[in-house]
Structure 1
Amino acid sequence: MTSRIRLIAVVAVLCCAVIAAAVYALLGTGRTASTRTSSHQTSPAAGSGGPKPSAPAKPSASGTWVPTNPAIADVCRSKLPGQAQDTLALIAKGGPYPYRTDGVVFENRESRLPRHAGGYYHEYTVVTPGSGDRGTRRIVTGTAGEQYWTADHYSTFQEIDSHC
């Protein structure tokens, strides 16, 4: 009789795991806007609605910039440090880059950026004056043209608005 109870318990646990996985899949990454705008975030998230489908950041019909994901805070390109603007210029030209690891695939393991297939994102070093190594600042780009800034080695991101 005890082996029958164990079997029922195992089946119940497996059913719960399947249900939890289904709910997780239906809700996407399991993160909400409030999770993304943790205490690490340097500015509030743009907009209060749910995330939009990921698409390249582009001007709207009115000519204003539209973020690809309003759950991620944005920053004006002109407000970035000069070194970040230099990195963006190098990216636009296709290099050459100061570090051999620039342009490698960014895996987005923590899913802080919108989810995409592997190889979608690439990372580039932003030179940090006085740092003896690559430092913590990076630009991450998406295949569709979106660009993200992180000053804290991928803990938080801001989408770069190139129109201001």
Structure 2
Amino acid sequence: MAAHAPITFPVSKFALTGLLLVALSTGVQAREWFGFRNGQPDTGTIALTELPVQGQKTYAAILKGGPFKFEKDGTVFGNRERQLPRERRGHYREYTVETPGSRDRGAKRIVCGGEQTTPSACWYTADHYASFRRITP
């Protein structure tokens, strides 16, 4: 029986070189480049005024303690995706940011940590927890 050669996928030397040059030329350390800073996920930021109008309304409702349209609003967010800094269970709570025209809750959320009406930090996700940006007032 003849031995089979391993399957390989050709990768352009130019593509790998370009990727390396981009990483090196920006001066970004590898862990930062791959979404971590100081051992924690790097979430980036978004100004409160940059949120969609519905997000700004949700944020205001969070600070007032409601009312909220969806039953799941204010429930514990488990951070299973580990996109946010690690905290004890129950630290984070999630809130729906309405998506006009959506027949369900949609993908947009605000997740806050700390006390419910005085959170220590809040994050916005437009892609159902795949990425987050910390909200800055």
User: Are 1:153 and 2:124 counterparts?
Assistant: no
Per the alignment, residue 90 of structure 1 pairs with 61
The counterpart of 2:38, out of the listed 51, 58, 72, is 51
Report the alpha carbon displacement of residue 148 of structure 1 after superposing the two structures with TM: 0.1
The counterpart of 1:132, out of the listed 103, 109, 115, is 103
Report the alpha carbon displacement of residue 110 of structure 1 after superposing the two structures with TM: 1.4
Q: Partners of 1:92 and 1:111 in 2: how far apart?
A: 25
Change (3 A) 1:116 1:70: closer
Q: How many positions carry a matched residue from both structures? A: 103
Paired residue type of 1:97: F
SS in 1 for 2:87: coil
Per the alignment, residue 103 of structure 1 pairs with 74
Give a deviation string over 1:123-143, Cα, whole Å, max 9, x none. Answer: 000000000000000000001
Report the alpha carbon displacement of residue 72 of structure 1 after superposing the two structures with TM: 1.7
Per the alignment, residue 22 of structure 1 pairs with none
Whether the 8 Å CA contact 1:107–1:121 is kept in 2: the answer is yes
Report the alpha carbon displacement of residue 35 of structure 1 after superposing the two structures with TM: 2.9
Whether the 8 Å CA contact 2:35–2:41 is kept in 1: the answer is no
Report the alpha carbon displacement of residue 70 of structure 1 after superposing the two structures with TM: 8.2
- Taking only the aligned residue pairs, the percentage that are identical comes to 45
Give the TM-score normalised by the residue count of structure 1. Answer: 0.59
Give the TM-score normalised by the residue count of structure 2. Answer: 0.70
Give a deviation string over 1:38-88, Cα, whole Å, max 9, x none. Answer: xxxxxxxxxxxx338xxxxxxxxxxxxxxxx78221011101100000000
Q: List runs of 5+ in structure 2 lacking aligned partners.
A: 1-30
Q: List runs of 5+ in structure 1 lacking aligned partners.
A: 1-31, 38-49, 53-68
Whether the 8 Å CA contact 1:121–1:141 is kept in 2: the answer is yes
Give a deviation string over 1:10-37, Cα, whole Å, max 9, x none. Answer: xxxxxxxxxxxxxxxxxxxxxx433337
Change (3 A) 1:133 1:70: closer
Question: Higher strand share goes to which structure?
Answer: 2
